[in-house]
Amino acid sequence: MAEPVKDWTTDYDIFDPAYKRDPFPIWDEIREECPIAHTERWGGSFMPTRYEDLFNIARNIQTYSSRNVLVADFEPSAYGEDPEGVPAEVQTASQTAGGAPPITADPPVHTWARKLLLPPFSATQVARYEPETRELCAELIAGFIANGRADGAADYAQQIPPRVIASMLGIPKDKAETFTGWVRGFLELGLTDPEMRQSSAISIFSYMNEVIQERKQNLREGDLPSYLLTSQVDGEPVPEAHVLGTCFLLMVAGIDTTWSSIGSAIWHLAQHPADRARLIAEPELIDSAVEELLRAYSPVTMARYVAEETEYAGCPMHEGDKVLMNFPAANRDPRVFENPDQVIIDREKNPHIAFGVGIHRCAGSNLARMEMKVAIQEWLKHIPEFRLEAPDEVTWAGGQVRGPRKMALVWGS
Interface residues with other proteins (CB under 8 A) are: 115, 118-119, 121-123, 287, 291, 348-353, 355, 357-359, 361, 365-366
Q: Give the shortest CB-350-to-other proteins separation in angstroms.
A: 6
Instruction: For other proteins, give the closer residue by CB, 293 or 317.
Output: 293
Q: 313 near 319, Cβ under 8 Å?
A: no
Q: DSSP string covering 188-223, please?
A: IGGGG-HHHHHHHHHHHHHHHHHHHHHHHHS--SS-
Instruction: For other proteins, give the closer residue by CB, 123 or 219.
Output: 123
Instruction: For other proteins, give the closer residue by CB, 262 or 330.
Output: 330
Instruction: For other proteins, give the closer residue by CB, 46 or 121.
Output: 121
Residue type, 379: W
Q: Give the shortest CB-48-to-other proteins separation in angstroms.
A: 16
Q: 163 near 406, Cβ under 8 Å?
A: no
Q: Give the shortest CB-121-to-other proteins separation in angstroms.
A: 8
Residue type, 16: D
Instruction: For other proteins, give the closer residue by CB, 158 or 366.
Output: 366
Q: Give the shortest CB-353-to-other proteins separation in angstroms.
A: 5
Q: Give the shortest CB-77-to-other proteins separation in angstroms.
A: 28
Q: 238: Cβ–Cβ under 8 A, 6 or more apart, which residues?
A: 116, 228, 229, 231, 232
Q: Over the Cα atoms of the chain, what is R_g?
A: 21
Instruction: For other proteins, give the closer residue by CB, 267 or 355.
Output: 355
Q: Give the shortest CB-366-to-other proteins separation in angstroms.
A: 6
Hey, is 312 helix, strand or coil?
A: strand
Instruction: For other proteins, give the closer residue by CB, 32 or 338.
Output: 338
Instruction: For other proteins, give the closer residue by CB, 206 or 377.
Output: 377
Q: Give the shortest CB-331-to-other proteins separation in angstroms.
A: 10
- The rounded distance, in Å, linking the Cα atoms of 214 and 217 is 5
Crossing angle between the packed helical segments 88-97 and 194-217, to the nearest 10 degrees: 100
Q: 52 near 313, Cβ under 8 Å?
A: no
Q: Which residues pair with 317 in a beta bridge?
A: 310
Q: 238 near 245, Cβ under 8 Å?
A: no
- The rounded distance, in Å, linking the Cα atoms of 378 and 396 is 23
Q: 342: Cβ–Cβ under 8 A, 6 or more apart, which residues?
A: none
Q: Give the shortest CB-222-to-other proteins separation in angstroms.
A: 15
Pairing of strands 322-325, 302-306: antiparallel
